[in-house]
Amino acid sequence: MTEAEQAGRPTGATATATAGGSGEPKGRRRIAVLLVVAAFAYLLDLGSKLFVVAELEHHDPVQVIGTWLQFEVVRNRGAAFGIGEAMTVVFTVIATAVIVAIARIARKLYSLPWAIALGLLLGGAFGNLTDRLFRSPGGFEGGVVDFIAPAHFAVFNLADSAIVCGGFLIVILSFRGLDPDGTVHED
């Protein structure tokens, strides 16, 4: 068994490239990217929610682009489109499971694109989890602050946007055969 196989890194026809093409992945830098992206997404979401709650809650919607795009504060105890409002605790558990799964994947994270995608997911999950834990009524049942209201669509927030962008990037990376450990599969 080769040293790479013992370390758990794929070899041969399965692994055609490593992150950066240097032959040996750089794990610390990729985890740092994940954490920086997650912190940026989280702080942007938190700051936007603090602002809109302080300035826009209990006011008429603010038209950004006529009626096509408005800012309107909505407390959402469910998932997208307000589905499952009686299942707030379940969504809290799901967000926590996503965070734990990302932490497990991060141990073997050598791919920069995967670090960005997982960072977006992590920041978004923490953003909405913060609302569920600390906003009224609290205790895993808080309402998530949504405020971006496009016409004929669900009201959402920046955490939701980060989650969707991260998920979309993961789908693209998966279709292209890039794994979180930096290997590329040709099949």
Distance CA 79, CA 85 (A): 7
The answer to whether 160 is a known catalytic residue is: yes
Q: 146, 179, 181, 187: which is the annotated catalytic residue?
A: 146
HSE of 2, CA atoms in CB hemisphere, 13 A: 7
Is residue 148 within 8 A of residue 115, CB to CB? The reply is no
Q: Tell me the CA end-to-end span of the chain in Å, nearest whole number.
A: 23
Task: Single out the residue of 94, 165, 139 nearest to residue 156, CA to CA.
Answer: 165
**Which position among 45, 131, 160, 181 bears the catalytic label?**
160
What DSSP state is assigned to residue 179? Answer: -
Cβ pair 185, 16 in contact under 8 A: yes
Report, as residue numbers or ranges, the catalytic residues. 146, 160
